[in-house]
Chain A
Amino acid sequence: MTRPQAPSVVQNSGQVLPAGHEPANLGDILERVLDRGIVIAGDIRVSLLDIELLTLKLRLVIASVDTARQIGIDWWEHDPWLSSRARPPLEPGPRDPEQVEAERRPRVAARARRRDAELEEWDDFDG
C-alpha cells in the first residue's frame, strides 16, 4: 500500500507549511468534488450540470456573494450560458481592480488631453 507523505503547502518560494492542521480551502475542495472525479451514473439523477445547478450558481452570486467569495467558486465565469446571458450584477462585491481602473480612465484621459500638448513640447525639449 502506498502512503503519501504528510500533506504540505508551499507558499511562494521557500516556505513550506504543513497543511494537515488546516482544513483545505473550500473553494479548492468544491472545484474538485463538483467538477472532477469519476462520473458514475447513480440511480438518483441529480446531474451537477443540470438546470437546477444553474439556479444554484445564480443563487450563489445573487444571495450569497460573501459566502461564494469566501469559498472561491466561479462557475459562472466559464459557463457560457451564465456569462453570456444571465450574468447578474456582483454587488456588493469587493472592488474589482479593473473596474476601479475603468472608472478612473475617463478622468485620467481628460487630464491627459489637457496635458498632451504640453508633453509634446517637453518631449521635443528633452530630445
Chain B
Amino acid sequence: MTSTAELAADRAAPAAGAWLHGVVRDADPAALAAIPGMDGAPVRTVSAAGLVAVVSTAPLDEYGEQPLRRNLEDLAWLERAARTHHAVVEALARQGPVVPARLATVHTDDSRVAESLAARRAELVATLDRLTGRGEWGVKGYLVPGAAAASAAAVGGGGVGTAYLRRRRAQLTAREEGQQAASAAAEAVHASLCELAVAGRRHAPQDRRLSGVATPMVLNGAYLLDLAALPAFTDLVRALSDRHPEIRLELTGPWPAYSFVAERPEPALTVREPW
C-alpha cells in the first residue's frame, strides 16, 4: 500500500470522490458513455442492492469539503455545476425513471455510494416504481396587470377632475383586486391541474426582481403526469389560460421528477377517506 510508485501516483492525481447524479434501476453503458460528468469525462455507474447509482469522478481538490464550500459561492462555478448535473439527470430521465440527487452529494469513494444505495434501497425502489412512465411538468402563472381593471376604466361621466380621480381610484382598487383575482385564479388552476396529475405541488413563487418578469409570479406549480396524460394536460393548460385572463400561464417540461422524490410527506398523494 505504501510503495514508492503509489505515493508518486497519489501526488500526480489527487484523490477523487464520487459525485452522485441520480439513482436508476439499470443503465445502458453505451448511453452513459455519451454523457459528460462533472470532470468532463463520461459518467460511470456504481451498482449495489439491485440499483444503479450514476456518478461523476470528483477530484477532492475541487469537490472536497473546503473547496466545495468555496466553489458553491462562486456563481460561475455554481452555474456550470448545476447545468452539468442537470444535464446528466435529464439524460438519465430520457432512458427511464431516475431519482435525482440534490446538488453537491459527494461520497469519498464508490464503496460509500454503494452503502448509501443499500441503506436507502426500499425508499429508492418505491420512488422509482412511482415515477415509472411519468414525468414532471412545471406550470408558472404570472399576474396580468390591468386584466381586472378593464371594466372599471370604462365608467365615464363628470368633468376632467372627476374623470382623473375616478380613474385613479379605479387603478388603485383594480391593483388590489387584480392581485386577489390572480391569487384566486392560481388556486383554481392548481386545483384543476391536480385533477389530471398523479401529484401536484406548489413551490414558492420566484421573485420578480430576479425572474426577469416584471409582473409577480402567483403560481409555481410542479405536476407529476402519466406520459399518456400529457396531451390532455397541455389542452387543459390552454383552456385554463383562456378561462383565467388575469394570469398568464407558462408550461415547461418534461423535467426529471425533482419535485416528487423527497421523503417528506406528499399531501397531493394522500387519499382522503370519504366520510
- Contact partner of B94 (CB less than 8 A), chosen from A4, A16, A32, A126, is A4
Are B252 and A48 closer than 8 Å at their CB atoms?
no
* Interchain CB contact under 8 A, B107 and A43: yes
Residue ID in chain A nearest B203 by CB atoms: A31
With both chains docked as a complex, state the minimum distance between the C-beta of B124 and any C-beta of chain A, in angstroms: 8
Closest to B165 in A: A119
- What 6 A-B pairs have minimum CB-CB distances, sorted nearest first? A74-B207, A13-B241, A44-B106, A10-B251, A36-B258, A32-B258
Residues of A contacting B208 in the complex (Cβ-Cβ under 8 angstroms): 96
Residue A84, interface by CB 8 Å: no
Q: Is B63 part of the contact surface with A, judged by Cβ < 8 Å?
A: yes
B244 to chain A: closest CB distance in Å? 10
CB of B249 within 8 A of CB of A13, answer yes
Q: In the bound complex, do residue B162 and residue A122 qualify as a contact, i.e. CB atoms below 8 Å apart?
A: yes
Contacts of B168 on A, CB cut-off 8 Å? 108, 112
Interface string of A73-112 (1 = CB under 8 A from B): 1100110000000000010011011000100000010001
CB within 8 Å of B: which A1-47 residues: 1-5, 7-14, 16, 19, 23-46
A53 to B74 Cα, complex, angstroms: 11
Looking at the complex, which one of A3, A5, A64 makes contact with B75 (CB distance below 8 Å)?
Answer: A64
Q: How large is the interface on A (under 10, 10 to 19, 20 to 34, 35 or more residues)?
A: 35 or more
Contact among B79, B104, B124, B234 with A46 in the assembled complex (CB-CB below 8 Å): B104
The chain A residue with its CB closest to the CB of B169 is: A112
**15 A-B contacts (beta carbon < 8 Å):** A4-B135, A12-B241, A26-B79, A27-B206, A36-B102, A37-B100, A37-B261, A42-B116, A44-B60, A46-B65, A48-B104, A56-B72, A68-B75, A94-B209, A126-B157
Residue of A16, A46, A96 near B209 (CB, 8 A) is: A96
Q: Are B263 and A122 in contact, with the CB atoms below 8 A?
A: no
List the B side residues contacting A26 at CB < 8 Å: 79, 82-83
The answer for the CA separation of A41 and B85 in the assembled complex, in Å, is: 17
Residues of A within 8 A of B63 (CB): 44
Interface residues of A (CB under 8 A from B): 1-5, 7-14, 16, 19, 23-46, 48, 52-53, 55-56, 59-60, 64, 67-74, 77-78, 90, 93-94, 96-97, 101, 108, 112, 115, 118-119, 122-123, 125-126
State whether the Cβ of B248 lies closer than 8 Å to any Cβ in chain A.
yes
Interface-side segment among B181-189, B191-199, B210-218: B210-218
The answer to whether A38 and B100 touch (CB under 8 A), given A5-B227, A108-B168, is yes
| Whole-angstrom CA separation of A77 from B262 in the bound complex | 22
Instruction: Please provide the chain B residues from 66 to 86 with a CB less than 8 Å away from any CB of chain A in the complex.
Output: 68-69, 72-73, 75, 78-79, 82-83, 85-86
Alpha-carbon distance A74/B132, docked complex (angstroms): 32
B50 contacts chain A at the CB level, 8 A cutoff: no
Binary per-residue interface labels of chain B (102-116) against chain A in the complex, 1 for a CB within 8 Å, 0 otherwise: 111111100010001
